[in-house]
């Protein structure tokens, strides 16, 4: 393939069926992931038109958003959740789609399950009726969140019409300091570029920081692309990608795998690849990061204080004032030491086995502050099983955390896990919008799983580096 083409353009061109009169391209979709919230209406659209699912073998369903993480007995206590569950069961039976329901050991959050099962592979076009589909870009795929009407279109035609975005390369080079995680890197990028900075772009994450990351860390970075306004984000496939995929249930085997791996690696952006824009950051400038406001870009390093409104551009000051009021925080206030009420480790951003391992290192031998409700929600049943085999559940439970079943949980509170009143939650999830975690006055501080663990133990925002140094001392 051309060395002047970046991966995004290579994959886009390979999947272009034709260019439409509108100027959009009709793309073939390699993998369609669906869940219980955005699919019921799509299936009704098919029924209304007498259509079938064109390629059911290219569609995989799971349940995650509405699934309770405590009592999973059927029928669910929430009638609407039970209706959604029944609908996806019926739809998958009728249209011949594989469903990973709560009785299937493979069930979990859709963006955890896809990679875990080897469904997500380099060079694919992947869509799902969920904003954080960009997670799958960590494998070198074009992965896009879509709306309900588009879900119906993909089910019926296995294609969709899209305008080609520009491509921005986001480079981070250097050494990350102790206690600085992939979550901190992506929050830092969003802080610097803004929540609208990526509009009209796909992001290619490049540089030695991403090269050194594990696949699970890369998924965290790509997951948050949408929060920076990008249509999607991706990282070029390399040996780390190949090693992760080998032996997964849906990847090829033997010689077929070797052939696939060779092709996957050929997709990487060439040394002379062209981009519409390039931005560069120094890893040494990144420290453990905490959002303080009502957008993921409103964040600070844990050692910083909250800048006064006057420090912001005039056109941002109204939103900044609103954020201070809603979050009940003050100008010039240090973020470190801010009292929390709830600590949540989970979500499609940070609920994988490596996230739980790192958080467990922080809490082992310690106990959750008496005024904090703390919960750990694994991203899939397989993650939960592996964590229990490693004894991580015991570490969390002994430290005073609640150990839950797999699901989206408190990330978006379409299930029983919700904030109450104006509780302040230290969360490893991806959105801190008003009311995001279930209470119209609930407040969210986004941070890494290790930072959440530290906050749970001390009852306030804590610099995890201090606790990690105590562990190694």
408 labeled binding residue: yes
Phi (first) and psi of residue 16, to 5 degrees: -75, 120
> What is the spatial distance between Cα 37 and Cα 442, in angstroms, rounded to a whole number?
23
348 labeled binding residue: yes
- Annotate 194-259 with DSSP letters as a single string: -TTTTTTEEEEEESHHHHHS-HHHHHHHHHGGGGGT-SEEE----HHHHHHHTT-TTS--HHHHHH
Residue whose structure tokens are 């080998």: 246
425 labeled binding residue: no
* Tokens encoding 271: 């040394």
CB 215 within 8 A of CB 115: yes
> What long-range pairs does 17-23 form, CB within 8 A, spacing at least 24?
17/159, 20/161, 22/161, 23/163
> What is the spatial distance between Cα 117 and Cα 96, in angstroms, rounded to a whole number?
19
C-alpha gyration radius of the chain: 22
- Tell which residue, 119, 135, 201, has the closest CA to residue 411: 135
Query: SS3 letters for 159-182?
Result: EEEECCCEEEEEEEECCCCCCCCH
CB atoms inside a 10 Å sphere around CB 2: 12
> What is the spatial distance between Cα 39 and Cα 281, in angstroms, rounded to a whole number?
39
> What is the spatial distance between Cα 320 and Cα 303, in angstroms, rounded to a whole number?
20
User: Annotated binding site for [4Fe-4S] cluster: which residue ranges?
Assistant: 348, 408, 411
User: Annotated binding site: which residue ranges?
Assistant: 348, 408, 411
């Amino acid at each position: 393939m051309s060395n002047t083409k970046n991966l995004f353009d290579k994959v886009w061109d390979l999947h272009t069926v034709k260019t439409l009169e509108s100027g959009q391209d009709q793309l073939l979709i390699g993998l369609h992931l669906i869940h219980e919230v955005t699919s019921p209406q799509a299936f009704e659209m098919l029924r209304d038109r007498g259509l079938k699912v064109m390629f059911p073998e290219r569609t995989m369903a799971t349940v995650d958003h509405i699934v309770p993480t405590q009592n999973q007995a059927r029928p669910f206590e929430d009638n609407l959740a039970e209706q959604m569950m029944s609908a996806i069961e019926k739809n998958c039976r009728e249209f011949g789609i594989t469903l990973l329901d709560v009785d299937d050991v493979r069930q979990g959050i859709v963006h955890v399950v896809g990679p875990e099962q080897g469904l997500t592979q380099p060079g694919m076009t992947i869509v799902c009726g969920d904003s954080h589909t960009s997670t799958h870009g960590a494998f070198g795929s074009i992965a896009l969140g879509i709306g309900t009407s588009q879900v119906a279109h993909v089910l019926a035609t296995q294609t969709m019409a899209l305008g080609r975005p520009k491509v921005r390369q986001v480079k981070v080079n250097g050494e990350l300091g102790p206690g600085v995680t992939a979550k901190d890197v992506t929050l830092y990028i969003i802080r610097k570029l803004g929540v609208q900075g990526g509009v009209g772009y796909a992001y290619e994450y490049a540089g030695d920081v991403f090269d050194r990351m594990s696949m699970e860390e890369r998924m965290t970075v790509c997951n948050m692309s949408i929060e920076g306004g990008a249509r999607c984000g991706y990282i070029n496939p390399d040996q780390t990608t190949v090693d992760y995929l080998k032996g997964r249930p849906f990847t090829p085997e033997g010689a077929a795998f070797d052939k696939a791996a060779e092709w996957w690696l050929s997709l990487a952006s060439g040394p002379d690849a062209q981009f519409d824009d390039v931005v560069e950051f120094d890893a040494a400038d990144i420290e453990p990061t905490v959002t303080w406001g009502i957008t993921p870009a409103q964040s600070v390093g844990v050692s910083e204080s909250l800048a006064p409104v006057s420090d912001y551009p005039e056109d941002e000051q109204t939103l900044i004032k609103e954020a201070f009021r809603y979050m009940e925080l003050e100008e010039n206030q240090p973020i470190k030491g801010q009292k929390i009420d709830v600590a949540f480790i989970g979500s499609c951003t940070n609920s994988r086995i490596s996230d739980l391992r790192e958080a467990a290192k922080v809490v082992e031998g310690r106990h959750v502050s008496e005024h904090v409700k703390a919960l750990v929600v694994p991203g899939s049943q397989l993650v939960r099983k592996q964590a229990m085999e490693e004894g991580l559940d015991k570490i969390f439970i002994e430290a005073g955390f609640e150990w839950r079943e797999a699901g989206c949980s408190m990330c978006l509170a379409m299930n029983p896990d919700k904030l109450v009143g104006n509780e302040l939650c230290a969360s490893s999830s991806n959105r801190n919008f008003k009311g995001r975690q279930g209470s119209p006055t609930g407040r969210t501080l986004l941070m890494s799983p290790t930072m959440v663990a530290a906050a749970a133990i001390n009852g306030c925002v804590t610099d995890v580096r201090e606790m990690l140094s105590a562990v190694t001392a």
